[in-house]
A and B are shown apart, each in its own frame.
Chain A
Amino acid sequence: MQTFDTTTTTLPTLRRDSQLHETERRLNAVLNNASVAIFLMDDRQHCVYMNRAAELLTGYSLTEVLARDCPLHDIVHHTYPDGRPFPLAECAIDRAFPENNQERGEEVFVHKDGHFYPVGFTASPIRDDEARIIGTIIEVRDITEEKAAAERQRLLTNELNHRVKNTLATVQSIAAQTFRGKTDTAARQTFDARMVALSNTHNVLTAQNWQSANLRSVVEGALAPHALAEVDTGRFDLVGPDTRLHPKVAVTLAMALHELMTNAAKYGALSVPEGRVGVSWTLEPTGAGERLDLVWTEQGGPPVTEPTRKGFGSRLIERQLPMEFDGTATLAFAPTGVTCHLCVPLTALGWHGQDLVTGRAAR
Chain B
Amino acid sequence: MIDLGGRRVLLVEDESLVAMLGEDMLLDLGCEVEIAMRLDKAVALARGADIDMAILDVNLGETCSYPVADVLFERRIPFIFATGYGLAGIEPAYGAVPVMQKPYQIAQMERLLRHLVTCETLPTKAGGRPLACGCSPGAKTGGPQQMRAD
Task: List residues of chain A with CB under 8 Å of any chain B CB.
Answer: 248, 252, 255, 312, 315-316, 320-321, 323-324, 326, 349-352
Contact = CB atoms under 8 A, between A and B. Distances in A.
Contacts of A352: 62
A312 B20 CA distance: 9
Nearest to A247: B61
A316 B17 contact: yes
B20 A324 contact: no
A326 B16 CA distance: 12
Nearest to A326: B38
Nearest to B19: A320
B14 interface: yes
B17 A248 contact: no
Contacts of B36: 323
B62 A323 contact: no
A9 to B, nearest CB: 49
A301 to B, nearest CB: 27
Interface string B20-58: 100000000000000111100100000000000000000
B37 A324 contact: yes
A320 B16 contact: yes
Given A255-B17, A351-B62, 8 more contacts: A248-B14, A248-B61, A320-B16, A320-B19, A323-B16, A323-B41, A324-B15, A324-B37
A323 B19 CA distance: 10
30 contacts: A248-B14, A252-B16, A252-B17, A255-B16, A255-B17, A312-B20, A315-B20, A316-B16, A316-B17, A316-B20, A320-B16, A320-B17, A320-B19, A320-B20, A320-B37, A321-B16, A323-B16, A323-B19, A323-B35, A323-B37, A323-B38, A324-B14, A324-B15, A324-B19, A324-B37, A324-B38, A326-B38, A349-B62, A350-B62, A351-B61
A312 B17 CA distance: 10
A204 B17 CA distance: 19
A15 B16 CA distance: 74
Contacts of A312: 20
A351 B61 CA distance: 8
B75 to A, nearest CB: 23
A320 B20 CA distance: 8
Contacts of A324: 14-16, 19, 37-38
Interface of B: 14-17, 19-20, 35-38, 41, 61-62
Contact of B15 (A248, A315, A326, A349): A248
A315 B20 CA distance: 9
Most buried by A among B14, B16, B36, B62: B16
Main secondary structure of the interface of A (DSSP, over half): helix
Contacts, number: 38
Nearest to B62: A351
B34 to A, nearest CB: 11
Contacts of A316: 16-17, 20
A321 B38 CA distance: 12
B22 to A, nearest CB: 11
Contacts of B37: 320, 323-324
Nearest to A316: B16
A352 B35 CA distance: 24
A42 to B, nearest CB: 53
Contacts of A248: 14-15, 61
A167 to B, nearest CB: 11
Nearest to A248: B61
A248 B18 CA distance: 12
Contacts of A351: 61-62
A326 B17 CA distance: 16
A326 B19 CA distance: 15
A77 B91 CA distance: 51
Contacts of B19: 320, 323-324
A316 B19 CA distance: 10
A246 B102 CA distance: 23
A248 B35 CA distance: 18
B130 to A, nearest CB: 27
B13 to A, nearest CB: 10
Contact of A349 (B16, B20, B41, B61): B61
A60 B38 CA distance: 59
B102 to A, nearest CB: 13
Contacts of B17: 252, 255, 316, 320
A8 B41 CA distance: 68
Nearest to A194: B17
Most buried by A among B15, B20, B41, B62: B62
A351 B14 CA distance: 13
